[in-house]
């Protein structure tokens, strides 16, 4: 595939990064935040509501139309060629990848990204300071999420077994950001299987290029 796919969304977004890793894994050229109808779109623009009913990112712009929601975008990208398949052929195994992609996108994202990381990224305390009470409130949910991931990757290379899948792509940027927060390294190290998993996936060329 020679023509780049067009991805709308800020490159710092965890979900946008998931899509970028998918493109790198599949060898699909891409362009981030392209001009659409003569305007360069970015996060927060009202024009995003033309592509997503809630104005969310990422959005993939194709010659056939637009696709929103991270897992749907990754599934489409995976269908474009047979390189480094992100979904297994078996129907049950494929359903498990969908299951974990959804769990991560909803519950783990809420615990790690919405409740913790966004407070560090966009602090709302006095004089732009991080509200440490909000960080403390978020920690139980973060620890629960890490425990769930730890159990899932104990004795396995990836979330759904021995093959990298779409579920991993959704999770990796979240864990990467978490480990880089002031106390994140200690949190991740408290879950050896998660720590080992994160070290393994960071060795992939696709992950190094995006993160």
| DSSP letter for each residue of 90-103 | SHHHHHHHHHHHHH
d(CA 135, CA 119): 7
Taken in order of first residue, the domains within the chain and their CATH numbers are: 5-79 (3.40.30.10), 91-205 (1.20.1050.10)
Q: Write the pLDDT tens digit of every residue in 48-72.
A: 888 888 888 999 988 888 999 999 9
CB 18 within 8 A of CB 74: yes
CB 185 within 8 A of CB 177: no
Q: Write the pLDDT tens digit of every residue in 148-165.
A: 999 999 999 999 999 999
Q: Write the pLDDT tens digit of every residue in 98-148.
A: 999 999 999 999 999 999 999 999 999 999 999 999 999 999 999 999 999
pLDDT band at 10 (very low <50, low <70, confident <90, very high): confident
Give the least confident one: 26-30, 35-39, 94-98, 201-205.
Answer: 35-39
CB 167 within 8 A of CB 100: yes
d(CA 169, CA 159): 10
pLDDT exceeds 80 at position 209: yes
pLDDT exceeds 70 at position 199: yes
pLDDT exceeds 90 at position 2: no
Q: Write the pLDDT tens digit of every residue in 14-32.
A: 999 999 999 999 999 999 9
């Amino acid at each position: 595939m020679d023509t780049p796919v067009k991805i709308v969304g800020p490159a710092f977004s965890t979900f946008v990064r998931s899509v970028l890793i998918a493109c790198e894994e599949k060898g699909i050229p891409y362009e981030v935040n392209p001009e659409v109808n003569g305007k360069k779109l970015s996060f927060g623009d009202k024009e995003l509501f033309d592509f997503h009913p809630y104005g969310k990112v990422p959005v993939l712009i194709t010659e056939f139309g637009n696709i929103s929601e991270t897992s749907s975008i990754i599934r489409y990208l995976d269908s474009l060629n047979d390189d480094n398949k992100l979904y297994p052929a078996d129907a049950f195994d494929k359903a498990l990848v969908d299951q974990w992609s959804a769990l991560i996108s909803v519950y783990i994202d809420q615990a790690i990204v919405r409740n913790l990381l966004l407070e560090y990224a966009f602090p709302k305390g006095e004089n732009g300071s991080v509200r440490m009470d909000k960080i403390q409130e978020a920690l139980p949910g973060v620890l629960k999420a890490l425990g769930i991931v730890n159990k899932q990757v104990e004795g396995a290379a990836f979330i759904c077994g021995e093959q990298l899948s779409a579920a991993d792509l959704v999770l990796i940027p979240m864990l990467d950001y978490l480990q880089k927060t002031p106390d994140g390294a200690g949190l991740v190290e408290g879950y050896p299987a998660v720590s080992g998993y994160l070290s393994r996936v960071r060795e992939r060329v696709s992950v190094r290029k995006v993160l």
